[in-house]
Each structure stands twice: as C-alpha cells, then as structure tokens.
Chain A
Amino acid sequence: KQEVTQIPAALSVPEGENLVLNCSFTDSAIYNLQWFRQDPGKGLTSLLLIQSSQREQTSGRLNASLDKSSGRSTLYIAASQPGDSATYLCAVMGDSSYKLIFGSGTRLLVRP
C-alpha cells in the first residue's frame, strides 16, 4: 500500500531564504508525482508534475526533483517571498492506478 510522507509538517523562514520541502513514498512503481499549493480554505493549484521517467522539473523559482528508486522527491523554492506562504502537498499516482495519493502537506510561512 502506497504511503506518502512529507517533512517537515510546518516551516517558518525569513523572506529571501532558499528552502527545501521533502516528500517520500513507499512504493517506487509510480506513474507521476505532482506538487500542489493550497491556500487556506481553497482548492489545489498544480505547481509541477514529474513523469516517472524524468528526474526534475522547473518553473520559475521552483524546482522539483524525483528519485524514484529511493522513493523521494524534493521541492526547492528559491528566494522565498511572503506570497509563497501556503501549504504544499505532494501526491503520487501509481503505475496501474488513476488516483493520486497525497501526503499531509508542509505548512510554509515566509516572514517579511
């Protein structure tokens, strides 16, 4: 049974810091991995999608890496801003599945 874990659960950093969010999964037979952002009480915004054959994806100040064999992904945020404050969720889709399995998220606060 696939399980997704995100560490840390919460993070508070001063503006301008570079930071790394971690995601681990127990079953390496994945089709893709997605990182989402969720603002309080809102829906999910897709940030980056990495196919199982890829090692990383980049969008602006965000970079996500995938190491399928070790069951790990990281989301790197460069030069953090107060507007980056949100909960970041990692989710995997299995090879033979259509559902996303989510971690519990990392709650990020960027202090001005």
Chain B
Amino acid sequence: DAGVTQSPTHLIKTRGQQVTLRCSPKSGHDTVSWYQQALGQGPQFIFQYYEEEERQRGNFPDRFSGHQFPNYSSELNVNALLLGDSALYLCASSYQRAQYFGPGTRLLVL
C-alpha cells in the first residue's frame, strides 16, 4: 500500500515565477492538506481540500492556491514567488481527521 507521494522532491525557482507542486494521497483517503515548513520551525497549515473544494484555509495570501481532482490527488500553486516562500512543502492525506504526511517538496527561491 503506497503512502502519500509528492512530486517533485526538489525545485529551484527565481523570484516572480510560479510553481506547481503535486500530491497523491494514501489509498482510501479522500482529504488532502498542505503545510509549509520553514527551516527550524513546525509546519504551518496552508489549506485543506475535500470533495474537490477548499474546506479550510490558514493565514496565507491568495498567491497560494490549490486544486483537488476527482481521484483525490491535489496540486498546490504559488504565484509571484518571494524569497520567503523557500521552504519544505508537506502534503498530508486523511480519512476522518488522522493525517499522514508525504516526504515533502523542498522549494528554493533565488
């Protein structure tokens, strides 16, 4: 049984560019959450998708947007990248509120 998978593993972008990160949930899970983890900090909640709709959102600007597909996989899009967007982006899938995390995508903005 495959766990949560994310792609790509690493990414380098320049300021002002746009990026798309992808996540496939654990089998049987219908909910996907995205978190941003800066170096030395705990993860911060970006948003959660359920039934292809954004169900809850954290304190992140509109430059952060997402999508969930009918197969429950999800994308995180970040527009107009800033240096401060450099972080580890974690996806978590869940069924009935227990969350399981993927390996993350390391984004570096230069």
* A residues apposed to B, CB below 8 Å: 4, 31-32, 34, 36, 41-46, 49, 89, 91, 93, 97-105
Contacts and interface: CB of A to CB of B under 8 A. Distances in A.
Contact of A99 (B48, B100, B101): B48
A88 B58 CA distance: 23
Given A32-B98, A43-B90, 13 more contacts: A4-B42, A36-B101, A42-B103, A43-B4, A43-B104, A49-B98, A89-B42, A91-B42, A99-B56, A100-B33, A100-B35, A104-B40, A105-B42
A93 B103 contact: no
Contacts of B100: 46
A112 B102 CA distance: 30
25 contacts: A4-B42, A32-B98, A34-B98, A41-B88, A41-B106, A42-B104, A43-B90, A43-B104, A44-B90, A44-B101, A46-B100, A46-B101, A49-B98, A91-B43, A98-B33, A98-B48, A99-B58, A100-B43, A100-B45, A100-B92, A100-B99, A101-B45, A103-B42, A104-B40, A104-B42
B27 to A, nearest CB: 16
Interface residues of B, number: 28
B45 A99 contact: yes
Given A43-B103, A44-B90, A98 B56 contact: yes
Nearest to A102: B42
B40 A31 contact: no
B63 interface: no
